[in-house]
Chain A
Amino acid sequence: MWGSEVTPNVKAPKIRELGYELKVREAMDKNMITIGPDISMNRLRGTLRSNRISGIPVTEDGKLIGVICVEDLVNWLMAGARDCLVEEKMSKDVATLFDDEPLIHAINKFEQYGYFHFPVLDRSSGDLAGIITREGIIRSLLKRLEIDYREEEIRHYRASHVFEDMFADKTSLTFQYCVVGQDFNRAGESASALKKTLKRLEIHPEIARRVAIAVYEAEMNVVIFARGGEITAEVDPNQIRIKVEDSGPGIPDIEKAMRPGYSTAPDWVRELGFGAGMGLDNIKKCVDEMNITSTVGKGTHLEMSVAIKKESVSYEVKGTG
């Protein structure tokens, strides 16, 4: 189980995605050592040794004409080390990459050939532009992951510190949700979206839950009784104020409607499990302040607010039994 968590079975891991995003030129080494074809093998021996590298591109007027590597040098030594020019011993048939190819091509080529390096060519001029090694690939991937991670960190920080980051005497954020009447498939979506938003703002989970429950119940009332309505949540550093306005039939007797168990919901709505007559009572228990105004035939206007306290608050909704 431990192992499976460390190497999750992902078909397209992030690294692979980056392999398509990054270009070969971002991973290649531009300041590589090159040599000319007219250098002697004895001098090459010194160059390889002092730079501790496994191979060197051979160039003429900026163009790649071959690669000479440690293996070529060993073969030359075994054959008696008769001094000659690099040109005679280098590999002329060289596998290369273009600088604008996606990095994934380089990764595939390393797997395919088992080499330690590939020369990289500039596609337009055909000149040698750099050399790519496994080390360079790893370094470029890590660098990119680091950048992405930092951006994610900053984004996360910004959302949760949005109030401190703004310069104003008073700052608030407004979120608006449209509720469609009689649509039970989408009922609850506004409450759920607002809850996610509050979580992103790092509002205390207990506060977010109370707001979500109150908004859920209010949203249900709009869905059950009205043709539609609008939910507006205004969040500032001290409180969350919510307005729910609908163009429904209105509530003739608000005092009665507030009573737990009192409901005017039609039977088909009750069969779905709604309309228990506990909605307004649930809201009252969750919010710090609430105010309903309603005009029969016009609609209902519900306003409520929940204070955001800095310390953790425990506020469980108790049932009416």
Chain B
Amino acid sequence: MKLRELVKKFNLEVKCAADRLDRKIEGGYVSDLLSDVIANGRAGDAWVTLQVHQNIVGVASLKDLAAIIIINGRQPEENTIEKAENEGIPIMVSKMSAFELVAGLCSAGISGTR
């Protein structure tokens, strides 16, 4: 599935890097601990998190993640958006909780294992 389809299907609010939505999502990972994502996230993953500060961009860039999805309608900080735009990492906001969103992603065929 492409990010663009994901945005439509789950009614996500795209905060930045809207020109990078043609990337294919290879899988998913959910965690709020950055070191955990560094250890277990994989290139092409959609990362579900509640963190909004700019270090999430560094982690996503380091691991070449496909996108960051922030849950509970939390808004990323301004410098997070700015940094992500520069790095070309799409950040999307979902109104759903992590549990609901991940359940939805799984039934849409996005897997946590590869």
A320 in contact (CB, < 8 A) = yes
Closest to A278 in B: B35
Contact of A213 among B51, B56, B62 (CB under 8 A): B62
Is there a chain B Cβ closer than 8 Å to A282's Cβ? yes
A217 in contact with B35 (CB, 8 Å): yes
The total of chain A residues at the interface (CB under 8 A) is 28
Q: Judging by beta carbons under 8 Å apart, are A187 and B55 in contact?
A: yes
- Between A195, A213, A217, A276, the greatest number of chain B beta carbons within 10 A of the residue's beta carbon is seen for A276
Q: Which of A188, A282, A316, A318 contacts B55 (CB 8 A)?
A: A188
| Interface of chain A residues 152 through 198 with chain B (CB within 8 A) | 184-185, 187-188, 191-192, 195
Contact B62 A319 (CB under 8 A): no
Give Cα A295–Cα B55 distance, bound, in whole angstroms.
Answer: 29
Q: A209-B62, A274-B33, A278-B36 are in contact. List 16 more A-B contacts (CB 8 A).
A: A184-B53, A185-B79, A188-B59, A191-B58, A192-B61, A213-B38, A220-B34, A272-B51, A273-B34, A273-B49, A273-B53, A273-B56, A276-B33, A278-B33, A318-B39, A319-B39
How far is A29 from B105 in the complex, measured between Cα atoms in Å?
67
**Contact across chains for A276 and B36 when beta carbons are under 8 A apart:** yes
A35-72: which have CB < 8 Å to B? none
Cβ of B72 within 8 Å of any chain A Cβ, yes or no, is no
Within 8 A of B (CB), among A77-104: none
Most buried by B among A184, A220, A319: A319
Q: Which listed residue (A216, A273, A279) contacts B62, Cβ 8 A?
A: A216
Given the contacts A209-B62, A213-B62, A278-B33, A273 and B51 also touching, CB distance less than 8 Å: yes
Q: Give the Cβ gap from B80 to chain A, nearest Cβ, in Å.
A: 10
Binary flags per residue of B71-101, CB closer than 8 Å to A gives 1, else 0: 0000000010000000000000000000000
Q: Is the interface of B mostly helix, strand, loop or mixed?
A: helix
Contact (Cβ within 8 A) A278 B39: yes
User: What are 6 A-B contacts defined by CB distance under 8 Å?
Assistant: A216-B62, A276-B35, A278-B33, A285-B39, A317-B39, A319-B39
Asked if A242 is at the interface of the complex by the 8 Å CB criterion, the answer is no
Q: Which residues of A contact B (CB under 8 A)?
A: 184-185, 187-188, 191-192, 195, 209, 212-213, 216-217, 220, 272-274, 276-279, 281-282, 285, 316-320
A195–B64 CA distance with the chains assembled, in angstroms? 13
- Partner pick for A317 among B38, B51, B58, B61, CB 8 A cutoff: B38
Q: Which of B30-55 contact A (CB under 8 A)?
A: 32-36, 38-40, 42, 49, 51, 53-55
Could you say which residues of chain B place their CB within 8 Å of the CB of A184? 53, 55
CA distance in complex: A278, B40 (Å): 11
* Complex CA distance for A317 and B62, rounded to whole angstroms: 12
Number of A-B residue pairs at CB separation under 8 A: 68
Instruction: Tell me if A276 and B54 are in contact (CB < 8 A).
Output: no
| Closest partner residue, chain A, to B79 (CB atom) | A185
> How distant is the Cα of A272 from the Cα of B34 in the complex, in angstroms?
9
3 closest Cβ pairs, A-B complex:
A319-B40, A188-B58, A276-B33
Query: Which residues in B have their C-beta under 8 angstroms from that of A320?
Result: 39
CB of A221, distance to nearest CB on chain B (Å) = 10
Closest to A316 in B: B42
Name the residue in A184, A212, A273 with the highest tally of chain B Cβ atoms < 10 Å from its Cβ: A273
Complex Cα distance, B79 from A184, in Å, reads: 12
Residues of B near A279 (CB, < 8 A) are 35
Given known contacts A185-B79, A188-B55, A276 and B62 CB-to-CB distance under 8 angstroms: no
On chain B, the residues within 8 Å of A220 by CB distance are: 34-35
Bound Cα distance A99, B31 (Å): 65
- Check if B55 sits within 8 Å of A273, measured CB to CB: yes
The answer for the CA separation of A320 and B36 in the assembled complex, in Å, is 9
Contact assessment for A276 and B34 in the assembled complex, using a CB-CB cutoff below 8 Å:
yes
Q: How far is the CA of A252 from the CA of B20 in the complex (A)?
A: 46
User: Are B36 and A319 in touch, CB under 8 angstroms?
Assistant: yes
- The complex places the Cα of A211 from the Cα of B100 at a distance, in Å, of 36
